Amino acid sequence: MNSIGEKILRLAVELTQVRSVVGTAGEVTVAEHIHAHLAKLPYFRNHPEDLRFQPIPGDPLGRKNVLALIRGRKSNPKRAVLCLGHIDTVGIQDFAELQPEATQPDQLKQKLAAAVKFCDETAAEIASDNWVLGRGIFDMKTGVAALMVMLELLSGQTEDLAGNLVFAGVPDEEGQSAGMLAAVAAVEALAVEEGWDFAAAVDTDYMTTRYPGDDHKYVYIGSVGKLLPCFYLYGEETHVGEAFNGLDANLLASEVLYQMDLSTDLCDVAEGEVTQPPVSLHQRDLKAEYSVQTANAVSIYFNYATHSSQPDEVLAKCKAKAAESFASVIKRLNEEYEKYCRLSHIPHQPLPWQVQVLTYEELYNNVKAEMGDEIDGIIEELAAGLKAQKVDDREFSLAVVHEVHKYYSDQNSKIIVYFAPPYYPHIYVKGEDAKEKRLLDVVNGAVEEAGERYDYKIVTRKFYPYISDLSYCRIAREDETIARLVNNMPAWSRTYALPVEAIRRIGMPVVNIGPFGKDAHKLSERVSKDYSFDAMPFILEKTLRGLLAGE
Ligand SMILES: [Zn+2]
């Protein structure tokens, strides 16, 4: 570990000690701590106007971003690079009686080893001098410390920088990304007012193993994205005494769940890198009480990761799965009904069920065609009531779909596909334009040099696999794509929205150069001194210098 590594480690421990659990006043304290630290640098003593707080609009906790601007003097005064770090952490309740030590790396090690029984590998690492423990030290106080040390280093060499550095320390990453979404506005303002063109965003969030025994270290150029596709399954209720008279929405839901859940044909593959398949997060029928009626409405939704599919494509894939599932339920019901008729010696007729799958947008348009603007008034009234009750975004979305469907003249069985918040766009850095090419060249060059210098197996991959604020550095340019998202997300502009135009204007490729560690969000959260305080800062520095090199 050289002096830069030592400096980063010291600062990482110091930042960890400033507890900043998401959704608490600690997020304000840590922002003030970071601001005070940077304010001591000669550069910001000379340019105090370039070290700023940016309040999060309307935030009840008064949280704020820390923005620090370093203006290069070599050439290219319009080029800029965004350095991104989140300053919040997840909670500490999991530490139980060790909560006071959760953010004290020096004390936590011994106390945790004595109090909790870990598996052999984890216990050995906790005992080893190479690992530093503490809530947030890995996710991502070490990354923030690394960026702050880079600011210190590069702010002393502005004559070598062909462009500007913008550091944004943001709260609420582990929550609703309020910090990052506010930062988007600040970055957009710099783009407009200063005329700065953002070449790339560099994040330093955590990096870990991808499978047991994995000894690679990863630098990710780009980011995974995420959608929450939902299915509203509407059946035809019946009394259990006349089972074949109805179409059980629970059965429909089960089939959609079976067809969607962990289906690898829905994995998004780009350049050989594969997302996780969709994972179900929720299944519930809307029956409030026990009765011998079958359920007639069920809601399910999935976590859907993306590398290349846009919301309109995901919607189409989900619609196709819904139609397939619906057809297979009808087929099975007909087969069983035929057998049942044979067994009970009654005449058989095919069941009346027909496949019907609509998107929310289609449902809404159909209802609007039937009843005009009245439906909008109904939706807004419902929305106002739900908002007053602070209903969860997913429940809000479901309630709107359920309500709109009530007014539809077609009450036959159907599946309605829609989206609920949140939406995290993926960022796929293909190397198609000059900015992407430059980022790929610079990062690949830095990783190659680090590989020669250090004894680690460092590789670049295309998609940072953990959902993060990075997603809000770029969004689809196509209006059609965004329209499918917005029109199929009942919560959009009611309880949820993204600053689409601002994200489009700042649109930049991204890289995550993270410290190495293990068990983010767990008791045994720890960062490795090896790699995190030698190779990682080396790659980070080379990348920043490379992006701000030349003309
Ligand atoms: Zn993180």
Query: How far does the centroid of ligand 1 lie from the alpha carbon of residue 469, in Å?
Result: 9
The distance in angstroms from the start CA to the end CA of the chain is 33
Query: How far does the centroid of ligand 1 lie from the alpha carbon of residue 288, in Å?
Result: 39
pLDDT at 243 (0 to 100): 80
| Confidence grade of residue 266 (pLDDT, cut at 50, 70, 90) | very high
Say which DSSP state 466 is in: S
Q: Which residues pair with 280 in a beta bridge?
A: 302
Plot region of 76 (φ>0 → left; ψ -120 to 50 → alpha; else → beta) = left
Query: How far does the centroid of ligand 1 lie from the alpha carbon of residue 317, in Å?
Result: 30
Residue corresponding to tokens 């999991």: 94
pLDDT at 293 (0 to 100): 77
pLDDT at 333 (0 to 100): 95
| Confidence grade of residue 295 (pLDDT, cut at 50, 70, 90) | confident
Rounded to whole angstroms, how far apart are CA atoms 275 and 417? 21
pLDDT at 228 (0 to 100): 98
Query: How far does the centroid of ligand 1 lie from the alpha carbon of residue 203, in Å?
Result: 10
pLDDT at 264 (0 to 100): 97
Contact between 294 and 248 under an 8 Å Cβ cutoff? The reply is yes
User: What sections of 18-71 are H helices per DSSP?
Assistant: 26-39, 42-46
For 369, other C-beta atoms within 10 Å of its C-beta total 9
* Main-chain phi, psi angles of 304, to 5 degrees: -125, 110
pLDDT at 341 (0 to 100): 95
Q: Nearest CA to 405 among 414, 395, 393? A: 414
Q: Which residues pair with 133 in a beta bridge?
A: 526
Query: How far does the centroid of ligand 1 lie from the alpha carbon of residue 85, in Å?
Result: 8
The pLDDT tens digits for 297-349 are 999 999 999 999 999 999 999 999 999 999 999 999 999 999 999 999 999 99
Q: How do beta strands 457-461 and 216-223 pair?
A: parallel
Please classify residue 242 by burial: count the beta carbons closer than 10 Å to its beta carbon, then call 0-12 exposed, 13-18 middle and 19+ buried.
exposed
Query: How far does the centroid of ligand 1 lie from the alpha carbon of residue 460, in Å?
Result: 19
Give the SS3 label for residue 458. strand
Rounded to whole angstroms, how far apart are CA atoms 39 and 41? 6
Q: How do beta strands 225-234 and 297-306 pair?
A: antiparallel
Query: How far does the centroid of ligand 1 lie from the alpha carbon of residue 141, in Å?
Result: 9
Query: How far does the centroid of ligand 1 lie from the alpha carbon of residue 368, in Å?
Result: 43
Q: Nearest CA to 517 among 275, 217, 223? A: 217
- What are the structure tokens assigned to 420, written together? 């609920």
Query: How far does the centroid of ligand 1 lie from the alpha carbon of residue 341, in Å?
Result: 59
Residue 437 reports pLDDT greater than 80: yes
Query: How far does the centroid of ligand 1 lie from the alpha carbon of residue 22, in Å?
Result: 11
The pLDDT tens digits for 141-164 are 999 999 999 999 999 999 999 999
Residue 397 reports pLDDT greater than 80: yes
Q: b/e per residue, 10-44, with b = 16+ CB within 10 A?
A: ebbbebbbbbbbbbbebbbebbebbbebbeebebb
Query: How far does the centroid of ligand 1 lie from the alpha carbon of residue 1, in Å?
Result: 24
Query: How far does the centroid of ligand 1 lie from the alpha carbon of residue 375, in Å?
Result: 42
pLDDT at 193 (0 to 100): 95
Name the amino acid, one letter, at 140: M
Q: Which residues pair with 67 in a beta bridge?
A: 52, 168
Query: How far does the centroid of ligand 1 lie from the alpha carbon of residue 420, in Å?
Result: 23
Say which DSSP state 269 is in: E
Name the E strands within 176-278.
Answer: 197-203, 216-223, 225-234, 269-270, 273-274
| Confidence grade of residue 287 (pLDDT, cut at 50, 70, 90) | confident
Q: Which residues pair with 163 in a beta bridge?
A: none
Residue corresponding to tokens 């859940």: 261
Mean pLDDT computed over 351-359: 96
Query: How far does the centroid of ligand 1 lie from the alpha carbon of residue 140, in Å?
Result: 5
Q: Nearest CA to 247 among 342, 346, 325, 363? A: 325
Query: How far does the centroid of ligand 1 lie from the alpha carbon of residue 125, in Å?
Result: 21
Residue 38 reports pLDDT greater than 90: yes
| Domains in the chain with CATH codes | 3-223+426-474+509-547 (3.40.630.10), 226-423 (3.30.70.360)
> Is the omega angle on the peptide bond into residue 260 within 30 degrees of 0, that is, cis?
no
